[in-house]
Amino acid sequence: MGRANGLIFFTVCYLILPNTGLSQVPTVVLNGNSITDFIPLHSEKYVEPKLLPEVDIAAVLAEDLANGVEIPRFGIKIPTSVSKNEGEAENNGGFIIWKKSFTAPDAKSLNFEFTDLELPEGAKIYVYNSTETMYSGPIERKHVHEGKYSTDVIRGNEVIVEAIVPKEAYPSFAVNISNVIYGFQDIGEFQEKTVQDRAYDDSQLCNVDVNCPAGAGWGNQRDAVALIFVNNSAWCSGALINNSCLDFDPFFLTAFHCLSGASGFLNWTFRFNYNSPNPVAPTCRGLEPTTWITYSGANLRASWNTTDFALLELSGSITSQSTIALAGWNRNASIPTQAMTAIHHPRGDVKKISIDNDPLDTSDPNFWIVNQWSTGLVEPGSSGSPLFDASQLIIGQLHGGDNNIGCLNGGGLIDNNDYGRFSVSWTGGGTTPTRLSDWLGANGNPQTLNAIRSPFINGTGPICTSNKTFSLTNLDPGRIVTWAVLPTNLFATGSGAATSGSGTTATLRAASSNSSGSATLSFTIDPLSNCNGAIVVSIPIWVGTPIATLEGDDYLCFNSPGVASLDYGLGTTPLLQGTSVSWSFTGPLGHLYGGPAIAKYKSARTAGYGYITATLTNSCGVTQLSFPYEVANCGGIGKGVSIQPIPNPSRGTITISVTEEPDDDNNRKVVQVVDGKFKIYNKFGRVALEGSLFSNHQEIDTSLLSPDIYILETIIEGTKASTKLMIIK
């Protein structure tokens, strides 16, 4: 803390986290970090949660048993049909923040199904628990398919859905939360526990985490396997699988019985990278990861009950994703003679690896049978997971077993786990919807195919006035690749830099020190012969110094609060990569604290003037934005407050005029508002709009209110006043 021109100067600095721009949605366990560092323009406004009805868990499980449901359930769907009008909205600069909260007192977790979801460009949805220890997002327009999106599981019994929408696009924002899934089983804990005491670790103790030594060398196969939230309420496993066109189509192999009678799969959720990062001896089981990714939605491409296989295709692209791979396969009918390996999510647990060193039982022509695991085992929730041969190629997917789940000498008890043979599923029922060959072998029908990793671009902005190189990674040799960057006017050409070219390397440079803005770098991979469609891998990049606008409360009474916000044009100006933000002030403020998008402050009991400043810094330079403010002694307030909304009726904006009630001579005294609040109630008694009052003549944006009659209430130094307010078209 220092002094400048006799005034206090104070700084708070934060780093803007880059937007990945990919098709998956991350889930993050915060572990003590502030959620405001991860969600730009996060609203701290409290929203009264919707109380979900109680569920009869025992009755639902009994019904599953009676219906012969084979996959383990962790949650129960509760129909909700919550629309946009049932949430609460508030203004924040150029954005509107929409929130809806849900609570189920005894729930372990909640997750959500959206239908009729319309996210305009620049809009983002985050889902987080009320303790702000876990969130999933941002969910953007590219993640929504046919108006549907299903979220990851968020632990806790109260969870908030928060949408951040550009103000001009808010009328086109639409949402329907059609179902909330009441989770009654733990799949994760925040606090560190001993490996024997983890609540999320429901699988048997002889299971081995995939990142243990037993999983060394199995990185591609590990990164292909995912946990499935079947209908968002039950567990299965499966794996991304390669096809002979090597075009990174996100085909996903699982079990037919995991389909569970579903007619559509756009509400399924797939969780990747749910791997313990630090398994420890002697059991080689570790703590839960703090971040992973999910995909929402899929389409059924082929299935056949005889070998219990189902082939889905995920709705989102997997290119540009460095942590995902597609497993290879072996369709030879010859009997494998070496060790077999399974990678799976037993009971929804973190990913495990199991090994069988003995010969397979081949008594069933449609299934490989593992009589007993040498290391680990499989359990309910492992269904649909792949069985790999010694060459690390898929030869089947898990159908089931005898269900005498248990451990013996570090391995599983004899359980006769059977895997539908990939070689039989290849020709399946003889038609496109019942066989794998049409989908995975269209280019040459090979006998085997190796795993490949998703291609991604290595490099990040910002781009300044010196050359910076980007490279396309994880591409098979021999593929024809070209690249281009747009808009070209932001970039220089010559001296090694260009705006387009061939090959897997691009060298870029800003056109000048004054060039600043967002751009997109794209690599295009030509298809193999007999295959359709080029593969495009793109990333957004930032050029030059940061750009933003700053606005905030510029008139404060003694001890009154204010808010300043930075608008980066979220969604339209996508990346401010490597940018740090520092907030500072001069003048009579008591304190200031802030994040990458918002700063909050409070005045002291000293009149005067000053400046609030945001300084944005990246490797290309510095952008400094500021505005002046004033602190004044606004005086006190007497009893008998009178308020008047002007105009009334209103078509969108009102001014709240605050005075004292008239004295005996019918004179009114203007009230000097120090620190007040207002609330606007609808005809059902719910708060439709609320905020702070810091002036006796304050303008309020009521454009979000539907035409109707409301009650306007103010609270100023403990004194309440209210009046009717009419909103018209």
What are the catalytic residues? 257, 308, 383
Q: How do beta strands 719-727 and 708-716 pair? A: antiparallel
Nearest CA-CA partner of 107 in 183, 181, 56: 183
- Specify whether the CB–CB gap between 698 and 655 falls below 8 A: yes
- Secondary structure element (H or E) that encloses residue 155, with its range: strand 154-155
How many residues in total does the chain contain?
Answer: 729
Neighbours of 507 (CB within 10 A): 14
Take residue 588 and report the two structure tokens written for it. 């009579």
Q: Tokens representing 142?
A: 């590219």
Amino acid found at 475: L
What is the DSSP pairing of strand 481-486 with strand 517-525? antiparallel
Distance CA 682, CA 286 (A): 51
* Half-sphere CA count of 664, side-chain side, radius 13 A: 0
334 CB burial (10 A radius; 0-12, 13-18, 19+) = exposed
Of residues 352, 87, 330, the one with CA closest to residue 210 = 352
Q: Both tokens of residue 695?
A: 């002036």
Neighbours of 465 (CB within 10 A): 15
Q: Decide: helix, strand or coil at residue 646.
A: strand
Q: Kindly provide the residue ranges of all beta strands, DSSP E only, lying in 367-439, ordered along the sequence.
A: 367-370, 386-388, 393-400, 407-408, 411-412, 417-421
**C-alpha span between 422 and 331 (Å, rounded):** 6
Which residues lie below 8 Å from residue 59, measured CB to CB, with a gap of 6+?
A: none
Single-letter amino acid, residue 544? G
Q: What angle do CA 86, 92, 95 make, to 5 degrees?
A: 75
> Counting Cβ atoms within 10 Å, is residue 644 exposed (0-12), middle (13-18) or buried (19+)?
middle
Rg of the chain, C-alpha, whole Å: 29
Q: How far is CA 389 from CA 250, 309, 375, in A?
A: 22, 18, 15
State which amino acid sits at residue 101.
S
State the virtual CA torsion across 398, 399, 402, 407 in degrees, nearest 10.
20
Q: How many Cα atoms are found within 13 Å in the side-chain-facing hemisphere of 97?
A: 19
Q: Looking up tokens 């960057």, which residue turns up? A: 485
Query: Three-state DSSP class for 645?
Result: strand
Residue with tokens 């006190």: 636
* CA 654 to chain CA mean position, Å: 37
Measuring CA to CA, which residue among 461, 464, 467 is closest to residue 508?
Answer: 467
Strands (E), 503-636: 505-508, 517-525, 535-543, 549-552, 555-557, 561-567, 580-586, 589-594, 598-603, 608-618, 621-632
Dihedral angle, C-alpha 132, 20, 25, 343, nearest 10 ° = -110
Q: What are the structure tokens assigned to 154, written together? A: 């968020």
What secondary structure does DSSP assign to 249-307, as a single string? Answer: --EEEEEGGGGTT-S--TT-EEEE----S--BTTTTB-PPPSEEEEEE-EEEEEEETTT
